[in-house]
Amino acid sequence: MLSQLPIVRRMHRWILPSCGDIRPSRPSSSRRRDAETPRPSPMFPPKLRKTVSEGTLAVPKDVEEFRAMTAYGCLKLFTYDELRQATGDFDPGRIVGEGGFGVVYRGFIDGAARKGHPPTTTREVAVKQLNPEGLQGDREWLTEVSYLGQYSHPNLVELIGYCCDDDHRLLVYEFMAKGSLEHHLFRRACTLSWTARLAIALDVARGLSFLHGAERPIIYRDFKTSNILLDAEFNAKLSDFGLAKEGPMGGKTHVSTRVMGTYGYAAPEYMATGHLTVMSDVYGFGVVLLEMLVGRRAAEPSRAGAREGSLVDWARPILIRPKKLERILDRRIGGPAPRGLGRVARLAYDCLSQNPKVRPVMGRVVTTLEAVLAAGADDEEDEEGTAAAGVS
C-alpha cells in the first residue's frame, strides 16, 4: 500500500517584495473523490465550531513563550523520539510531500495520542518536519499551531499535535490519503469529473468562508492547489496556515504586510500595495477555480495572447463569452458542456476582478456552488427516473 502513495512535490512559496521590502535571511538555528466515484460534500456541513470554548488562546510571540505553556489548546505534545518512531526514523520511503517548509512523512501513532481513540488502536498521520534552512521559520510554525490549534472545521486539515524539542519543529496532522489537488489536476491522466471538481471547490469555499467569518477574520493568504488536500473520499481541506494573517478590525479596511504568497495566485492590489483583505483570498480562490475549469496552471510558459504566461490574463475574458468558453474547458472532463458551466465561469470571472470591491464574499461563493451542485443532482435523479420508467 505504501508503494502506491504518490510522492507529491509541492510548489515552493515565493516571497514577493513590496515597496522595497524583502524578507531577511534567518540564522541557521531559526526555525504542505475517488476521482471516478467522488462523494460530493453534504449540502449542509456540520456546525462550525471553535476547538477552544473559553475565549481565544493567546498567540505566543516566540518559541520561548510557547515552550513556557504547559499545553496549547487540545493539541498533543509529542517528543522528537515519539515522532521518529512514528515515521520509521524518518524513512525516505514514507515521504508524501516536500516543499519550502521541509518534508512530510506518513506515520502512525497509537490511539492514546488522540482523545476518544482506544489506546490499543493506531492512527495514520502526516508528520511535517520543518527544514531549519527552508523558507518557513519559527513565526510561520507558530502561526500554524495557533490557528489550527484553535479552530475546528470539516474543511480545515486537523492538527493533532506538535513537537518543539530543542531545534526540532514538527507538526502532526490527520493523514490525507489522496494527496493534493495539484497532484490530481495537473497530471496527464486526470480523471476528476465535473461534479468532483465542483464538490472540491465547494469544500474549500466553505473553509475560507469559515475563516473569514471568525470573530476576527482570518486571511489565509496562500490559497493554491498544492495547499488543498484530499482525504480518502476526496473531501477537500485547507492545509498549511503558515502565512495566515488576522484581518482588519475596528473599522480598518485592511492590514498592511509584506507581500508573501505564490506567483500567479496573489491578488494584484495586494502585490502592488501590501494591503491585505479577505478579498485577497477571494482572488486566489478564483485562480484555483479557473485552473479547475481549464486544467492548466496559473503560471505557464507564454502562449499567444497571454502576458508573461498568466492564465488569468489569457482566460478571464473568455469566461463571459459562452461561444468561446467551451473551447477552453478542460477536455479531460469529457462529454458535452456540463450544466452550470456558465454560472461557474461567471463566478470565477467575478472572483478575479481587478477591483476587490466587486468580488463576491465567500458566503456568496458557497451559495452559488451549492445551487449548481444541487441542480446537477436533480438532473441525475430525473435521468434515473426516466430510465426506470422506460424499463417498466
Long-range pairs, 15-22, Cβ under 8 A, ≥24:
15/135, 15/258, 15/259, 15/260, 16/259, 16/260, 16/261, 16/263, 16/266, 16/271, 17/259, 18/258, 18/259, 18/271, 18/272, 18/273, 18/274, 19/274, 21/258, 21/259, 21/274
State the binding site.
128
Cell of 84: 521518529
The rounded distance, in Å, linking the Cα atoms of 321 and 184 is 28
The pLDDT value given to residue 193: 95
The pLDDT value given to residue 289: 98
**Annotated active-site residue in 138, 203, 222, 240:** 222
Most distant CA pair in the chain, distance = 75
Residue 222 annotated among the catalytic residues of the structure:
yes
DSSP class per residue in 176-223: -TTEEHHHHHTSTT----HHHHHHHHHHHHHHHHHHHTSSS-EE----
Kindly tell me the number of DSSP H helices and DSSP E strands found in the chain.
11, 18
CA-CA distances (angstroms) from residue 79 to 28, 107, 169, 320? 22, 14, 10, 54
CA-CA distances (angstroms) from residue 190 to 38, 179, 182, 198, 367? 13, 14, 10, 15, 27
Long-range pairs, 1-9, Cβ under 8 A, ≥24:
2/93, 2/94, 2/106, 5/96, 5/106, 5/179, 6/96, 6/179, 6/183, 7/95, 7/96, 7/98, 8/32, 8/96, 8/97, 8/98, 8/179, 8/180, 8/182, 8/183, 8/226, 9/97, 9/98, 9/99
DSSP class per residue in 373-386: HHHHHHHHHHHHHH
Per-residue pLDDT of the chain (392 residues; tens, 9 = 90+): 433 444 444 444 444 433 333 233 334 444 334 444 455 444 444 444 444 333 455 556 566 666 655 556 678 889 999 999 999 999 999 999 887 678 999 999 986 544 555 555 789 999 999 877 655 677 778 888 877 888 889 999 999 998 888 888 899 999 999 999 999 999 989 999 999 999 999 999 999 999 999 888 999 999 999 999 999 999 999 998 888 888 877 667 688 788 888 889 999 999 999 999 999 999 999 999 999 999 999 987 555 444 556 899 999 999 999 989 999 999 999 888 899 999 999 999 999 999 999 999 999 999 999 999 999 875 555 455 444 445 54
CA-CA distances (angstroms) from residue 345 to 149, 288, 290, 316, 329? 35, 12, 8, 9, 10
The rounded distance, in Å, linking the Cα atoms of 176 and 196 is 17
State the binding site for ATP.
128
Could you tell me which of 324, 315, 323 has the C-alpha nearest to residue 291?
Answer: 315
Task: Kindly report the pTM of this predicted structure.
Answer: 0.79
